[in-house]
Chains A and B, each alone.
Chain A
Amino acid sequence: MRQLKSTLLPRASWSFHVQRFHLILGSAITVGTVLAIAILVQAYWILQASLITRVLGFARVPHELFLPRPAFGVFLNAIAPEFLLEKAVISETLILLAAIAILLAIAVIAVVPRLSPPSRILAIFFLALVLVNLAYGILHPEQPWPLRVDWLTSGIVIIPLIALVFNVTVFPIPGSLSTKLVGLLACLAFSFVWSTLRLSLALSSLFYLGAFSFMFLEYLPGAFVDFVYMLLFYSLVMRRLAASHLEEARSIRRS
């Protein structure tokens, strides 16, 4: 650590040396992740689709899965797996009524005076999302059948993004390399599990609730939640690094 002359308030002037080796390793992991995604995207989708089809089976959603032939090095021309789902079992009128009931419930929550402004704003935010998706469902009633899922937003883009974020914000910070690597891998694993579950949930809701709920679950809050869990893992790793750094400083002071 680079410590300057101030002794009374060292935190005002200290800074850290960049962990060059960690940064280089992080950069290599990021590049490797981008390349792996570019080359193995189709294999990744196939793996994810095979897991999703099990979840859909568990949720008793009748469907058919069409898998493309495995291929490598085909990021731009990759063919996504396709799910063929039956039409929603609930009538559109019922869905509309359910949606209106949800909207009213959220509206009531939003105007409850005891709620703090952020809770109210959060409620209004989700209300707006539901409204937008409801409007989308009304404006675009003709959904493509079979539905070709937009896999790009559901977990591919976030993988190199997670590697990049960890690379530029966590790896240069002083601290244990194993903590950083475990944090990164845990975040990537969570990302895979979450995107698989999210897609399963979205497809189940497509069958049980109709098209607009699919759009709602798949696109809008999805990206926001991706960012939140990425932050969660970032904060966990940073907390761990800061704690060990503090302990190290204390032991130096004691000695």
Chain B
Amino acid sequence: MDAAILVIIAVIFAYAIRHYRFYWNRTFRVQEDVSQSFAGAYTPSVSILCPMRNEEKVASRLLNSLVEMDYPKGNGRYEVIAIDDNSTDRTSEIVDEYAMKYPFVKAVHRSGSSVVSKPSALNAGLTFASKEFVLFFDADYIPPKDCVKRLVAPFTDPQVAGVMGRVIPVNSPETILSRILDFERAAGYQVDQQARHNLGLIPQYGGTVGGFRRAFLASQGAFDAYHLAEDTDMTYRAYLSGWKICYVNAAECYEEVPSKFRQRGIQVRRWAMGHNYCLFDYGLRTIASPFLRFWRKLDGIMLLGVYFMPFLTLVGWSLGIYSYLFEPPFWSPLLFALFLTLSYNVVGNLALFSEVGSAGYLDRRNRAIWLIPLLPPIVLFYVLVGSRGFIEALLAHIFVRRRRRRETPESRRKNQKSESP
């Protein structure tokens, strides 16, 4: 019992050290952004995919940003593919309006699909993407004018399979939750992702405000239509086949974050499930990969375990309670202290508090730093939601995903028909 508790504490402590390493690197070391020297000078052909499902409120905003993008649009170097994914509102009309008005905008409509998911919509869009690089933007994002040229700049390095930009919430003043999520994003991107990029570890492709070389996508086949974290899936596919992902901190894009806890709970649960699928799929392969050096492997494993940590923390608390009640050693109350405090450092998207503070300092957002003490109670929320996500992922992996993998590619393809340009 005591050994198990000590092992859990050691794992939690290792995550805290990892976060502190990121904080130190991002705050005090020279930042790696060589590729941005080419931003604007290197303008390869690019396809931009925008999956939309019932997004009538935000579709025009995104498409407007994309048609006004500061990027050469002549000679077929730029195309926007708006994918109407089984929408039942005005999204399809909006998409058609833009396709008629601008020659470089294509509309793809999916209706009556048996699989309605973001990856399957992306697969549908990819069949029409013809350019050298493919970028993805979700409907509720607002890319600024320089976003695309900044994002494609790292592709000058032939080893780069994918890129990821920085996401910044626009609706942070709405509620306390949106303010807290603003913090999480700042720590996650400004500090965490940038430090991983600096250190040559594994910056993660985040599913939007980023993209891939089409040659890489062609070599990997389609997105897994059933995956809940196709972004993490693609990140690991890239690293395990010898490519790398480049994080571009200067490529900022604005988004709307959930302002209600219920929405956030659903989001975190979905991420936890998808991320844990990746843990089951890529855990051993990451350890055995010939393409990854030791530190990249270690970071890869720890990144895969991020959404396992809430469950581990819950197990630690349970063991601590048992130990406290039935075999109280003199230090059992200290264990509670350790679990309650250290777990905060590593759960979900919450980074070490110094990462959050450093992000606020780097962004010169001194007023927002006040809110840091509000973060610990949110940990309890993430522990429960994340643990539920892990258990559901484990059950789904055992009972559903394995069976689905036994399906033939033909039978799977049958389920994904009915896309029409």
A6 and B250: CB pair below 8 A? Answer: yes
CA gap between A219 and B360 in the complex, in Å: 33
CA gap between A116 and B178 in the complex, in Å: 14
**Counting CB contacts under 8 A, is B29 at the interface?**
yes
Q: Using known A-B contacts A117-B261, A136-B325, determine if residue A15 contacts B333 with beta carbons closer than 8 Å.
A: no
* Cross-chain contact of B337 among A4, A15, A223, A232 (Cβ < 8 A): A223
B250 and A16: CB pair below 8 A? Answer: no
Question: Which of B101-109, B218-226, B365-373, B390-398 binds A?
Answer: B365-373
- Chain A: interface residue total (CB-CB under 8 A): 56
Closest to B264 in A: A117
Chain B residues numbered 52-95 whose CB sits less than 8 Å from any CB in chain A: none
Chain B residues numbered 198-255 whose CB sits less than 8 Å from any CB in chain A: 249-250, 252
* Cross-chain contact of A4 among B23, B31, B362 (Cβ < 8 A): B31
A234 and B353: CB pair below 8 A? Answer: yes
Residues of B within 8 A of A78 (CB): none
B361 and A173: CB pair below 8 A? Answer: yes
Q: Using known A-B contacts A12-B252, A116-B261, A118-B261, determine if residue A235 contacts B376 with beta carbons closer than 8 Å.
A: no
Chain B residues numbered 357-383 whose CB sits less than 8 Å from any CB in chain A: 357-358, 360-367, 369-373, 375-378, 380-381
Residues of B within 8 A of A182 (CB): none
**Counting CB contacts under 8 A, is B159 at the interface?**
no
Q: Mark B343-365, 1 if CB is under 8 A from A, else 0.
A: 01000000001100110111111
**Counting CB contacts under 8 A, is B341 at the interface?**
yes
B39 CB, nearest partner CB in chain A, Å:
9
**Counting CB contacts under 8 A, is A2 at the interface?**
yes
Residues of A within 8 A of B252 (CB): 9, 12
**Counting CB contacts under 8 A, is A249 at the interface?**
yes
Closest to A139 in B: B325
Residues of A within 8 A of B325 (CB): 132, 135-136, 139
* Cross-chain contact of B265 among A16, A117, A125, A236 (Cβ < 8 A): A117
**Counting CB contacts under 8 A, is B336 at the interface?**
yes
Residues of B within 8 A of A12 (CB): 31, 33, 166, 249-250, 252
A122 and B377: CB pair below 8 A? Answer: yes
Closest to B340 in A: A224
CA gap between A223 and B334 in the complex, in Å: 8
B376 and A231: CB pair below 8 A? Answer: yes
Residues of A within 8 A of B249 (CB): 9, 12-13
**Counting CB contacts under 8 A, is B30 at the interface?**
yes
Q: Using known A-B contacts A121-B384, A153-B333, determine if residue A16 contacts B28 with beta carbons closer than 8 Å.
A: yes
Residues of A within 8 A of B28 (CB): 15-18, 172
Other than A13-B31, A231-B375, give 6 A-B pairs with Cβ distance below 8 A.
Answer: A4-B31, A15-B29, A220-B333, A238-B357, A239-B369, A242-B366
